[in-house]
Amino acid sequence: MSHDSSQSPPDLPHAAPRSSGGTRIPLIAFSWLWVGAPLVYGLYELIRKATQLFTG
């Protein structure tokens, strides 16, 4: 099977511009905060308790 390079790739639904003109930046920022805040807190607590464990 050979690939014909004259054919264009199929249009992907997520690559098409949104017709409503809206943006998802607030949703993306909220999602990063939703996951990032507990992650940062967990890493902080991990470092704090590991320091206590190894320093006495």
The identity of residue 53, as a single letter, is L
CA–CA dist 31, 38 (Å, integer): 12
Is 0.75 topped by the overall pTM?
Answer: no
- Minimum mean pLDDT range among 5-9, 24-28, 33-37: 5-9
CA–CA dist 18, 10 (Å, integer): 18
Please choose, from the candidates 26, 24, 5, the residue with its C-alpha nearest in 3D space to the C-alpha of residue 14. Answer: 24
**What is the model's pLDDT at position 29?**
95
- Section 16-31 average pLDDT: 80
12 has a pLDDT exceeding 90: no
User: Sorting pLDDT into bands at 50, 70 and 90, what band is 7?
Assistant: confident
CA–CA dist 49, 56 (Å, integer): 10
Size (the chain), residues: 56
**What is the model's pLDDT at position 44?**
98
